[in-house]
């Protein structure tokens, strides 16, 4: 059963179906009670999703902003499901930067200071100081005034 679900998930990704159905399949794959096999499965899925996310990001470069953001959000969700918080936060950062860059043309994409601050706090809470530092350097408004 798990092998079929994994094959279905791989098929969805290979067909570039970055949607909620694919995320539900991923969740069902990880609904195992066997801790040892679950640990190995997460590790295998982590490598697969990392590889596929890099490929997908290269593929979406010429797509619309909506398609780019949708694909990034899919991989953020996939990394969150498998427990790869660092990759999840890194892609969330990329999505925020993309939104900020594109907000010059599409005002509705503008990232609020609160969104940046929440993201920086989540990064710090998860001990990803390098990611949080990027946010703070990028957004000087968070720096304390002296």
Q: Which pLDDT band, with edges at 50, 70 and 90, does 66 fall under?
A: very high
Q: Residue 121: which of 38, 113, 54, 104 has the closest Cα?
A: 113
| pTM exceeding the 0.75 threshold for the entire prediction | yes
Contact 26, 9 (CB under 8 A): yes
Give the pLDDT confidence score for residue 11 in this predicted structure. 96
In a domain, 136, yes or no: no
In a domain, 142, yes or no: no
In a domain, 82, yes or no: yes
In a domain, 80, yes or no: yes
15 Cβ neighbours under 8 A, 6+ residues apart: none
In a domain, 87, yes or no: yes
In a domain, 126, yes or no: no
Q: What residues make up the domain containing 54?
A: 2-111
Q: What is the pLDDT of residues 52-63, one digit of tens each?
A: 999 999 999 889
Weakest-pLDDT range from 32-36, 72-76, 98-102, 125-129: 32-36
Element (H or E) spanning 25, and its range?
helix 20-29
In a domain, 78, yes or no: yes
Give the pLDDT confidence score for residue 142 in this predicted structure. 57
* Total structural domains within the chain: 1
Note the Cα 20 to chain centre separation in Å.
14
């Amino acid at each position: 059963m798990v092998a079929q679900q994994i094959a279905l998930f791989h098929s969805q990704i290979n067909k570039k179906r970055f949607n909620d159905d694919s995320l539900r399949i991923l969740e069902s794959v990880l609904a195992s009670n066997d801790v040892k096999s679950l640990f190995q499965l997460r590790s295998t899925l982590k490598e697969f999703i990392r590889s596929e996310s890099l490929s997908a990001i290269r593929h979406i470069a010429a797509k619309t902003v909506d398609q780019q953001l949708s694909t990034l959000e899919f991989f953020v969700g996939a990394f969150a499901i498998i427990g790869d918080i660092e990759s999840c936060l890194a892609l969330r950062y990329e999505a925020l930067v993309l939104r900020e860059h594109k907000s010059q043309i599409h005002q509705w994409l503008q990232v609020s200071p609160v969104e940046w601050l929440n993201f920086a706090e989540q990064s710090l809470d998860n001990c990803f100081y390098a990611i949080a530092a990027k946010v703070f350097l990028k957004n000087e408004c968070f720096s304390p005034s002296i």
